[in-house]
Structure 1
Amino acid sequence: VPGFHHRFPDWLDALGDADPRRVDLSAETITIPAAAGDLIIWRQDLPHGASPNASDRPRMAHYVNMYAPTLTSHPVWR
């Protein structure tokens, strides 16, 4: 969902008691075309997901996270 990080705080405030993990954002998604061996880099705070693997071979992924040295984690999310 492009640009979601710009409106995330307001979106979260407007949810009320709704579970943010159950809100359907599919109407706002775009597909990122990629071929075998492509590297895709995205912001972790953007809603994202993987499409079904249409190949007869397994999908391989390697995840790398980068954090600012000043990052502090929320105790509830550990």
Structure 2
Amino acid sequence: MDTGPQIEMYKDIEIRYGYSSRDDVYYAHFALPSRHEPKGLLQWVKMDVTPGLLPGRQKACGHTAQEVLDAAHTVIDRYFNA
């Protein structure tokens, strides 16, 4: 990231995001907590095979800052509501 990441808190999760001119995309990085194990997560993940729903570091990329924040919010919401 060129100028350093900006930080947004969403549902007590820190999302760091910013623009990379080298790649010409925006990135968002966040970590889903391992202490949370949503009921039925394993069956849901096997059915949907959506990356980013297991605990640990996650990444989203896109053409705008809002796009990567929306993607991060969606993954976080799905993780906690699964």
Q: Same fold (TM over 0.5)?
A: no
* Structure with greater Cα Rg: 1
Q: TM-score, normalised by structure 1?
A: 0.24
Kindly indicate which of the two structures has a greater share of residues assigned to helix. Answer: 2
Query: Which has the higher relative contact order, 1 or 2, with Cα contacts under 8 A spaced 6 or more apart?
Result: 1
Q: TM-score, normalised by structure 2?
A: 0.23
